[in-house]
Amino acid sequence: MKPKHTPAQFSFLFLDLFVFNVIHFVLVAHMGNIMYTQAHYYTLLIVFNNMGWLICSHIAGIYNQDKIHRAKELLNHTFITYLFFALITWLFFDLNYLVDTINFVLFDIVWFGLFLLISRIAMLGMVKFIEKTGIFRKRVVIIGNIMHASPLIEQLEKKHVFYEIIGFFDDNENSFNSEYHWLGKINDCLTYAKNNNISEIYSVISPDKMHELYSLADDAQNNFIKFKFAPHFDTQSKYKYSFEFDNNIPIVSLNPEPLAELSGQLQKRLFDIIFSSLVIVFILSWLIPIIAVLIKMESDGGVFFKQYRTGKNNRPFLCLKFRSLKVNDEADTMQVTKNDARYTRIGKFLRRTNLDEFPQFFNVLAGDMSVVGSRPHMLKHTEDYSRLHNNYMLRHSIKPGLTGWAQINGYRGEIKVDEQLIQRVEHDLWYIKNWNFWLDMRIVLQTLSSTFKGDKNAY
């Protein structure tokens, strides 16, 4: 089921924003007459900073309920989010030549960073205290077969600070192993719960298969014990499940894709816009003229190589690259090989360092590509490969990327045998099913590392 935003999450977000704005206004007051002479700068700064933090924290998901429960992960993700937020804030005001506000911006960012550090360390200590004392920990029991309850167990164990699984009730005693206690038959559940301070009862048996559970649920709630259903689905199948409600009608989706949701698309698009804009302004603005001169000095033809490639939903788009080959008639049909005679000298360097792909940041900014995704193939190869792999076209359900999960795992460049194509497609589909913001960050960082170290498949 889609995660709900809890009051605790909103309170956590409100506290951060409240302290941030207090810091801002205290600094304005401390700097005296500045408020009156440059009020428009500081109004712009406070609006930009509030929106910037909301966007960055939403993309990183630091206010998600799961991260609030895992304080160490929250600390790490907050640190990365803060660095990204501080960078875009500094660049924005530096690019706008707001020189008179530079010290103000610096103090604003530094003091907010100190607050975040102190508050997260305090939260880490509080979680450790709660974990040690168990003062907020709920004792729960589960009705049903232990094998059917494995997804529920996994979720509860992630929140072990707040939940403790006492044992199971099922009419078949042999369905349990030594790790969890069999506490009795289902009819014994309520009596045990009342006598042993049980806060919640979970049933992995659907009530339509055992109508007595409705009566048991009513009795439990009359005794102030919460009763919840977590119906079993076959976790050994190839499918993943997603649950949501439409007017109180439960709907189950098979193989849910995070990027099929609007929130996932917005997170990814915001990251693409910010990242590609920074690269275009701070790298391509001076790199393009240099590479253009080197390409034109060595061979005739254009600086950029433009080719239609397969995009999202199988729609072709014009993909940009620095030209690395001599002008030839086979560019749209023939794959580049390791010792390809069509290479130019500067072209070999560009391909080995991945610099030939950098113009695709314009494709990212335009919305045809993403920073991370499945690499786009030329149209002829899409047609050929779709005949070799049944699920090949599924990789086009998202925007193609400059880099991807397949690439950082060694499946890039020339495809010589069918197994290389199969592995590339499998990695692309895994990425689509398991996407999250931090996976994108990991892929970007690993791509940068491979670029500096060198990649044997980069040719």
Same domain (yes/no): 50, 23: yes
What is the predicted pLDDT for the residue at 428? 92
Query: The domain that contains 157 carries what CATH number?
Result: 3.40.50.20
Contact call for residues 132 and 193 (beta carbons, < 8 A):
no
Bridge pairing between strands 304-310 and 316-322:
antiparallel
Same domain (yes/no): 204, 294: no
Query: What count of Cα atoms within 13 Å lies in the side-chain half-sphere of residue 4?
Result: 7
Higher pLDDT: 351 or 226? It is 226
Q: Which domain range does residue 328 map to? A: 262-453
Does the pLDDT of residue 265 top 60, yes or no?
yes
Lowest average pLDDT, out of 7-16, 236-245, 294-303, goes to: 236-245
Confidence class for position 457, pLDDT limits 50, 70, 90? low
What is the predicted pLDDT for the residue at 4? 45
pLDDT > 70: percent of the chain: 79
Provide CB contacts within 8 A for 22, sequence distance 6+: none
Q: What single-letter DSSP state applies at residue 206?
A: -
Domain boundary among 133, 148, 169: 133
Of these ranges, 41-45, 398-402, 436-440, the one predicted with the greatest mean pLDDT is 398-402
Confidence class for position 20, pLDDT limits 50, 70, 90? confident
Q: Is residue 352 part of a domain?
A: yes
Confidence class for position 330, pLDDT limits 50, 70, 90? low
Averaged pLDDT of the chain: 80
**Rounded average pLDDT over 13-26:** 84
pLDDT > 90: percent of the chain: 19
In the numeric block, which tokens belong to residue 143?
Answer: 């009705």
Q: Is residue 98 part of a domain?
A: yes
Higher pLDDT: 127 or 215? It is 215
Same domain (yes/no): 145, 11: no
Same domain (yes/no): 266, 412: yes
What is the predicted pLDDT for the residue at 100? 55
Domains held by the chain: number? 3
How many Å apart are CA 240 and CA 212, to the nearest integer? 29
Taking each helix axis from N to C end, the angle separating 102-133 and 71-95, rounded to the nearest 10 degrees, works out to 170
How many Å apart are CA 377 and CA 35, to the nearest integer? 55
Same domain (yes/no): 201, 227: yes
What is the predicted pLDDT for the residue at 29? 74
Same domain (yes/no): 273, 381: yes
What is the predicted pLDDT for the residue at 246? 54
What is the predicted pLDDT for the residue at 388? 76
∠ CA 117-39-51, rounded to 5°: 45
In the numeric block, which tokens belong to residue 81?
Answer: 């989010």
Same domain (yes/no): 123, 156: no
Higher pLDDT: 453 or 122? It is 122
DSSP states of 112-177 as a string? HHHHHHHHHHHHHHHHHHHHHH-TTPEEEEEES-TTTTHHHHHHHHHTTTTEEEEEEE-S-GGG--
What is the predicted pLDDT for the residue at 1? 41
Same domain (yes/no): 122, 224: no
Same domain (yes/no): 212, 333: no
How many Å apart are CA 140 and CA 167, to the nearest integer? 8
Q: Is residue 164 part of a domain?
A: yes
Contact call for residues 377 and 404 (beta carbons, < 8 A):
no
Task: Give residue-wise pLDDT tens across range 151-179.
Answer: 788 878 877 778 888 989 988 876 655 57
In the numeric block, which tokens belong to residue 255?
Answer: 């193989």
How many Å apart are CA 87 and CA 92, to the nearest integer? 8
How many Å apart are CA 113 and CA 455, to the nearest integer? 37
Contact call for residues 372 and 357 (beta carbons, < 8 A):
no
Of these ranges, 91-95, 320-324, 335-339, 382-386, the one predicted with the greatest mean pLDDT is 320-324
**Rounded average pLDDT over 104-129:** 84
Q: Is residue 31 part of a domain?
A: yes
Domain boundary among 133, 162, 197: 133
Q: Is residue 458 part of a domain?
A: no
Same domain (yes/no): 448, 408: yes
How many Å apart are CA 162 and CA 139, to the nearest integer? 9
Higher pLDDT: 29 or 67? It is 29
Confidence class for position 391, pLDDT limits 50, 70, 90? confident
Same domain (yes/no): 345, 219: no
In the numeric block, which tokens belong to residue 253?
Answer: 């989706």
**Rounded average pLDDT over 369-385:** 89
In the numeric block, which tokens belong to residue 392?
Answer: 């090949």
Q: Is residue 26 part of a domain?
A: yes
How many Å apart are CA 323 and CA 346, to the nearest integer? 9
Q: Is residue 2 part of a domain?
A: no
Task: Give residue-wise pLDDT tens across range 44-71.
Answer: 677 777 888 887 887 777 776 555 556 6
Q: Is residue 1 part of a domain?
A: no
Lowest average pLDDT, out of 308-322, 328-342, 356-370, goes to: 328-342
Domain boundary among 256, 289, 319: 256
Same domain (yes/no): 397, 363: yes
Confidence class for position 373, pLDDT limits 50, 70, 90? very high
Residue 133: phi, psi to the nearest 5? -85, -30
Higher pLDDT: 151 or 198? It is 198
What is the predicted pLDDT for the residue at 385? 84
